[in-house]
Structure 1
Amino acid sequence: MDAYLHCLSHTPLVGLVDPEQAVLDEVNGVIADARRRIAAFDPELVVLFAPDHYNGFFYDVMPPFCLGVGATAIGDFASAAGDLPVPTELAEACAHAVINSGIDLAVSYNMQVDHGFAQPLEFLLGGLDRVPVLPVFINGVAAPLPGFQRTRLLGEAMGRFLNTLNKRVLILGSGGLSHQPPVPELAKADAHLRDRLLGSGKQ
């Protein structure tokens, strides 16, 4: 396996609450440079680690980690919408390998993902469907959260599996690297919000 790692912050406010033009130009330039490096690497597979913002995962079932064997982007905040090109057999093999290594990885054959997954694929690859992708959800908002140690062990288990592949693998991390936006908390939610967090907000 040849691997290339890149991390990118995501935000639903792109195009809605932009900074001054000089800052925006700098950010866009950095993303363009990353896009060129990734194009030169020419990945055959993308492994994308990202959170959710109560758009696909709710408190009816909230796993710490989930691999999408099938996944669809919902298109929130004008991000790209549509099916992700998940290679089913490879995703299933990955899930078995990670679970057999001692990590309790959930799987979903109908995973809904939001801008946290869609934006890196849009900005760095030009769309959702350019390269086969293994989408991996990491719960980053809904307490109790997985700890850093367990998350690292997930990454190590994924890495061991990927190392068995004769592929160029782009590993993407998507998150809020510079901020911690407010998110609803179940313990503080009123009845209406609690109902949504328990799953009534599913699309």
Structure 2
Amino acid sequence: MFHIEDKEFIRGKVPMTKQEVRCISIAKLDLKEDSILIDVGAGSGSVGIEVTNFTPKGKVFGIEVNPDGIEVIKQNLEKFSVTNYELIEGLAPSDIPQIEVDRMFIGGSKGNLDTILEWFLCHSKEEAKVVINTITLESLGEAMKGLEKLKFCEIEVININIARNKKIGRYNMMMGENPIYIISAKRSK
């Protein structure tokens, strides 16, 4: 099992969850080797593809509606020779097949967060876990309201701020990335 560095992914102009955020998000998913994950708003596929390294007996279903994202995911699946990942070209939750999952990662919801969480409740095993990444306070508030309304438990929010050094002459200057909220929760019994 290993993590993949950002520079290894084909990205194009598609959003990608940065490696430090990916590491924490994947840790919060509390994966098992046979976990079945749905990656909603898969973007470049970085989260789902990295998850396949931790779920050799499981499977990842990545759903993406953006044609550019779909193409980048296909390229990354080929580059990393991933075999336990199925790409769904469409919009969540309407285009997700009738599958049972025990983990869900939401990197983008296209305004459908409540119905995506409802889908998860109908198609997940007991004590299944969900992780949601957001960058806006509005999305954070929406996620919290949705999780509480649907009676998720063990809801936790963390905020991370990443800064990377950038060489300016002979000095290093820290350049901040967008702060990210990582929300994790467990399905109630």
> Which structure has the higher relative contact order (CA within 8 Å, separation 6+)?
1
Q: Fold conserved (TM > 0.5)?
A: no
TM-score scaled by length of structure 1: 0.29
The structure where helix makes up a greater share of residues is 1
Richer in strand (by share):
2
